[in-house]
Amino acid sequence: MVCPFHFRWEIKLPSYALLDENLIRLAIYNGFKQQEELIGILFFFGADQHKYYHNLLYKQWNESIQKNKQ
């Protein structure tokens, strides 16, 4: 039997799902990761850097919209 879960999100094994403290999915990384890459991912999310990065992207996006309006 084929699981429909794999078709919806195209999950490959191994996969790493990162969740926040409320069990909300932040990201899914598919495939094997070398030690250095996995540690970098874990530090990025573990130190809440993803929140600051999102704010930076949002700020840059708003600034580009304002420039295009002028």
Give tens-digit pLDDT for 5-62.
555 556 667 888 999 899 999 889 888 999 999 999 999 999 988 888 888 888 889 8
* 1 located within any domain: no
Q: Enumerate residues 6+ apart whose C-beta is below 8 A from 7.
A: none
Domain residue limits at 40: 7-69
Q: Using 50, 70 and 90 to split pLDDT, how confident is the model at 1?
A: very low
Q: Using 50, 70 and 90 to split pLDDT, how confident is the model at 2?
A: very low
- pLDDT score of 4 more than 60: no
* 65 located within any domain: yes
The overall pTM is greater than 0.75: no
Give just the sign of the alpha carbon dihedral 61, 62, 64, 65: positive
Question: How many structural domains are present in the chain?
Answer: 1
**Residue 24, H or E segment:** none
- Judged by DSSP in three states, 31 sits in coil
Q: How far apart are CA 65 and CA 53, in angstroms?
A: 19
* 47 located within any domain: yes
Q: Are the beta carbons of 46 and 38 closer than 8 angstroms? A: no
